[in-house]
């Protein structure tokens, strides 16, 4: 399974991740950077306690591939 991991810093300079599954894996750098800037601009995600944005600065975007290995499964 592939996951897109978008990394941002918060206004407090904490590292934040937004991980998305079932994604298009052919997105290039410019497209992902634009997407991340739109997420920041729209301010869709915020801390409910403080009212501050979760994402302030785009840091990086990575595709992560994981492979499940079943060690035990009930029959």
The predicted pLDDT at position 29 comes to 96
Tell whether the model's pLDDT for residue 1 goes beyond 90: no
Asked if the model's pLDDT at residue 68 lies above 90, the reply is: no
Residue 72 inside a domain? The answer is no
Helix (H, G, I), strand (E, B) or coil at 43: coil
For residue 71, being part of any structural domain is answered with no
Q: Return the pLDDT at 75.
A: 85
Number of domains composing the chain: 1
| Residue range(s) defining the domain that contains residue 55 | 2-65
Q: Domain for residue 20, yes or no?
A: yes
Answer yes or no: is 33 within a domain. Answer: yes
54 is a domain residue: yes
32 in a domain, yes or no? Answer: yes
> Is 75 domain-assigned?
no
Which residues does 1 contact at the CB level (< 8 Å), separation at least 6? Answer: 21, 65, 66, 67, 68
Mind listing the pLDDT tens digit for each residue in 14-67? Answer: 999 999 999 999 999 999 999 999 999 999 999 999 899 999 999 999 999 999
pLDDT at 28: 95
Report pLDDT digits (tens) over 4-14: 999 999 999 99
Q: Is residue 70 part of a domain?
A: no
């Amino acid at each position: 399974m592939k996951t897109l991991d978008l990394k941002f810093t918060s206004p407090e300079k904490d590292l934040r991740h937004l991980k998305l599954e079932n994604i298009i894996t052919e997105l290039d750098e410019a497209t992902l950077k634009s997407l991340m800037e739109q997420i920041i601009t729209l301010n869709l995600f915020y801390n409910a306690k403080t009212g501050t944005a979760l994402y302030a600065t785009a840091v990086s975007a990575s595709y992560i591939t994981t492979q499940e290995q079943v060690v035990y499964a009930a029959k």
